[in-house]
Structure 1
Amino acid sequence: MRLNSLLAKLTPTEKPIPSQADLPKNWAVAQAWLDDLSLQNYSEHTITAYTTALMRLMNFIEQDIRLQGDYLAFDHKDLSRFLVLRLEKDGIKAISAKQTLSAIRKFYAHLIKIGKAAHNPTTGYRLKAEPRALPKVGDVDMMAQLLDQPMPDDAAKARLWIRDRAMFELMYSSGLRLSELASLDVNDIDLTAGVVKVLGKGNKMRLVPVGKKAIDAISIYLPHRDLWQENTDALFISERHGTRLSTRAIQLRLKVCATNAGIAQNLHPHLLRHCFASHILSASGDLRAVQEMLGHTDISTTQIYTQVDFSTLTKVYDKAHPRAVSRVLKYEK
């Protein structure tokens, strides 16, 4: 892949150097590796990101008083100095720093492989993880506003709403990922037993309960689906094409349904999964059960839903603690 074409795609703030004439003196070894990645069919996006990262690195090595351009002398401490500079002075985000670290790690692994370096400065180096953000969650009333909205008067829109309500009732009822919902077949759901068989991440199968509202909505939808389908086992299909709905189509339908319900919040399918987890955990307190239903391998992923705001915490306290009444009365005076 030609360097000029990559540089042309970078924004002015991303360009580590103004022109090819200013390339670091040791750039040829980096360029050889990048050309090799191109031959290995790495994506253009990845090669562009690695090009930017290595240009920054080579410029740092060339301008550093201690290193004086010797990229083979670049060690663990130099790596720390370089990344601190990028994070604090240049203000890059943590995700960009991780991508830079990945580029450096792979570059030096390549140098070791071809016998040009004896050590990898990234060995054992870890960036501090950012605090995991609490997912945005809608309340129970918002979910009712979405799922209990009136049937459209227009016949064509009414048919779509019958299908859409079945999709979103099931997603909220069982905490499904968007990809899991889209990949469901008719035989994956047992309306009599009230369970759905889900193929999750890592091809792990799990059984998840399905609530009565979702069972009723799917039962109403299935006769329409049988009329629309064109030799497909897919559960949720396009009325127009009779084929499996794509994940993108489901995303768009949720936005349409949210708008029709008068919901101002930006609704996306994963939010319904967050709502499922938060509402179940809030009512039951059973983190292990929520982990199983969500299909999380690590319970630490599920624990993010245990973060509650202080107002909710005080309500629980006031309701449950035997001495809470006196505290409430004291501050109501």
Structure 2
Amino acid sequence: MPLLDLEKLCSGLEDGDWAGFLRDWDRSLRAGNYPETTRYIYLLAAAQLARFLADDLSDRGAAEASGDPTLVTKGNIESFQVWMIETRSAATALNKHKGLQQFFRYLVEEGEIGVSPMERVRQPKTPQKLVPIMGDGDTKKLLDSTRGKSFAALRDEAIIRLYYNTGARLSEIGSLLLADLDMKTESTRLHGKGAKDRRVRFGPKTLRALARYLRTRAKRKDANKVPELWIAERGVRRLAPNGIKAMLKRRGAAAGVPNVFAHRWRHNFAHEWHKAGGNTGDLMLLLGWSSDDMPRRYAASAAAERAQEFQVQMGIGERV
């Protein structure tokens, strides 16, 4: 099942102009070769704003804007942003803010509005949280939960080992095609953000886990009709990134490991790389980063942990 179901996303918006604009915008995004995950994030933000405006009884102009996105005001968006912060989080509100920037920029480009209402809307400030790395101990617990020869066990071990071994994004591993894997060179092509492909290597344990999964996958009836690497446990259909996210959560609950999500292995990869004295430029190439800011952000938790380890070794304040 595809991540982006446009008709479902537009459900309930047919009475106004929102659904039409979203369909047109999606066509424009597809023409620009935007990946499905990016399109989904953008379109979802706009659809959520439309539904919020329809339910916002505090603003008389919201009712009109709920039927016509060209009537949305700065105040409408700020009210939506406040609601997102209060009911979700500042990080989610920031995510929606960025999606709406793109939507109203599209309306400007189409000549539907003269100025984007986002121009004077402040980005919500998000507290910098130290994301805990997913180290060897917790990863072992998760891998132990995949012991066995069932299809799900072999598939989930291969998925977990790929995240652990490469530090790739959730969507990058989740969107792999069979054709992306090269078992001879022990590497895979990843489809990164901004349509930037890169190739990463994986080790012997990951190679073995992938080989076992591929043999089991090949025995599934009609599995050869699915170009994606990961397929669901029941039926012959792809296992989308959201399905992988749910699987990791289930595995974490079963293994007694809280807050299991793919990006924790990404933080761990950066931590281990720097700990071993790896070059930051090479790390950026491997993890698909184009901004110098990203290594600092992703390695913040790991850097704090390394600093604490070094603090203990130095023994400052313990010599007298």
The 5 Å alignment of 1:58-97 reads none
1:254 to 242, 248, 251: 248
**What is the CA-CA distance between 1:212 and the residue it aligns to?**
2.1
Tell me the secondary structure at the aligned position of residue 318 of structure 2.
helix
Contact preservation (8 Å) 1:230, 1:243: no
3-state SS in 2 of match to 1:272: helix
Q: What displacement does 1:238 show?
A: 2.8
1:232 aligns with 2:226: yes
Compared CA separation, residues 178 and 128, structure 1 to 2 (3 A): closer
Residue of 148, 152, 170 corresponding to 1:178: 170
1:299-321 C-alpha deviation (Å, 9 max, x unpaired): 212311332465631423565xx
2:271 to 271, 275, 278: 278
SS of residue in 2 equivalent to 1:297? coil
Q: Which of 37, 40, 44 lines up with 2:21 in the alignment?
A: 40
Q: Write the deviation string for residues 69-106 of structure 1: whole angstroms up to 9, x where unpaired.
A: xxxxx9xxxx99xx7xx98xx9897676985xx79x96
Match of 1:293, SS? helix
Tell me the amino acid that sits aligned with residue 284 of structure 2: Q
Matches within 5 A, 1:201-220: 201-220=193-212
The match for 1:221 among 213, 227, 232 is 213
Q: Which amino acid aligns with 2:155?
A: R
Q: Secondary structure at the match of 1:265?
A: coil
Counterpart of 1:263, as a letter, is G
C-alpha spacing 1:237/1:50, structure 2 compared with 1 (3 Å): same
Structure 2 partner of 1:289 = 282
Q: How many residues align?
A: 260
1:291 Cα deviation from its structure 2 partner: 1.9
Equivalent residue letter for 1:177 = R
TM-score if structure 2 supplies the norm length? 0.62
Residue 132 (structure 2) aligns with: 136
Q: String of CA shifts for 1:140-177, please: whole Å, max 9, x gaps.
A: 2111222245724xx5xx33211210111012111222
Q: Give the counterpart letter for 2:129 in structure 1.
A: A
Deviations 1:26-51 (A, max 9, x none): xxxxxxxx965566358553224456
Residues 1:305 and 2:298 are matched in the alignment? yes
Matched, 1:159 2:151: yes
Unaligned runs of 5+ in 1: 1-8, 10-33, 60-73
Residues 1:159 and 1:206: Cα distance change in structure 2 (over 3 Å): same
Change (3 A) 1:132 1:253: same
| Structure-2 change in CA distance of 1:47 and 1:312 (3 Å) | same
Please give the alpha-carbon distance, in whole angstroms, between the structure 1 residues aligned to 2:211 and 2:188. 14
Q: Is the 8 A contact 1:171 1:181 kept in 2?
A: yes
Q: In structure 2, what is the equivalent of residue 331 of structure 1? A: 318
Q: Does the 8 Å contact 2:162/2:206 carry over to 1?
A: yes
SS in 1 for 2:155: helix
Q: 2: distance between equivalents of 1:296 and 1:192?
A: 26
SS of 2:276's equivalent in the other structure is: helix
Larger Rg: 1
Task: Provide the secondary structure at the position in 1 that maps to 2:205.
Answer: helix
- CA separation of 1:55 and 1:297: change in aligned 2, threshold 3 A: farther
Q: What is the one-letter code of the residue matched to 1:46?
A: L
Cα separation, 2, equivalents of 1:256 and 1:174: 22
Give the secondary-structure state (helix, strand or coil) at the position aligned to 2:199: strand
Note if contact 2:270-2:299 (Cα within 8 Å) is conserved in structure 1.
Answer: no
| In structure 2, C-alpha distance between the alignment counterparts of 1:48 and 1:233, rounded to whole Å | 36
Kindly indicate whether structure 1 or structure 2 has the higher relative contact order, using CA contacts under 8 Å at least 6 residues apart.
2
Instruction: Return the alpha-carbon distance in structure 1 between the equivalents of residues 207 and 153 of structure 2.
Output: 15
